[in-house]
Amino acid sequence: MERKSRLSPEDWIAAGFRALTRGGPQAIRAEAIARDLAVSKGSFYWHFTDVPALKQSMLDHWTNIATKQIITTVEYSRMEAAEQLRLLVRIATSDKNEPYGGNLVEAAIRDWARYDPNAAETVKNVNKQRLAFLTKLFGQNGASHDRSVQLANLLYAALIGLEQLDHHGMAEAQTDLPALLEILLRADES
């Protein structure tokens, strides 16, 4: 039981995302996650009042770690806009999602949002934040507002699709998304 005392809320959140990725929202259950972590269910209740509290913590964590912290990291890099876009793509295609279930975790979150209004609202807000940031960077790189919106949409949609293709061995997001970004940056220079 020594391991139990070392688990943090973040350990449970990561395990919740792995369960979500493997089995959908119905797989986010205290007992099943505790079994995967090899601890008692009581350890879960040390950090969360119930499963809905875990789910809310998962959504908050995703918003903070996978959106706000990444945006902050890119903004504080103080690079030119094109370099910030390149950094953002490197981060987005890195192995940052491995502890959370791999490259399908975002797809699992989006699927969850199809059935859960709270998850849907979170996904909508995350999409808005990410697209606004991309639009801003393309605008800082010299694109008009309308063109920046279009470029942001194309790059973001490609990321979402490439994660799926990458999982099935039909693409390599770490090389394909940067290649697309370069095409978009060159096309905007014309």
| Per-residue pLDDT in tens (0 to 9) along the chain, 190 residues | 344 457 999 999 999 999 999 999 999 999 999 999 999 898 899 999 999 999 999 999 999 999 999 999 999 999 999 999 999 999 999 998 999 998 899 999 999 999 999 999 999 999 999 999 999 999 999 999 999 999 999 999 999 999 989 888 899 999 999 999 999 999 866 5
Q: How many domains does the chain have?
A: 1
| Residue 1 identity | M
In DSSP notation, 6-55 reads H--HHHHHHHHHHHHHHH-GGG--HHHHHHHHTS-HHHHHHH-SSHHHHH
SS3 94: coil
End-to-end Cα spacing for the chain: 63
Q: What kind and span of H or E run contains 65?
A: none
Q: Determine contact, residues 148/82, Cβ cutoff 8 Å.
A: no
Residue 174 CA to residue 12 CA, distance in Å, equals: 28
Residue 9 CA to residue 58 CA, distance in Å, equals: 10
Measured from the Cβ of residue 133, the count of other Cβ atoms closer than 10 Å reads 21
Structure tokens at 82: 């094109």
Residue 133 belongs to domain spanning: 2-189
DSSP 47: H
State pTM to two decimals.
0.92
pLDDT at 167: 83
CATH at residue 29:
1.10.357.10
Q: Determine contact, residues 138/152, Cβ cutoff 8 Å.
A: yes
Look at residues 141, 140, 153 and name the one whose alpha carbon lies nearest to residue 188: 141
Residue 44 CA to residue 62 CA, distance in Å, equals: 19
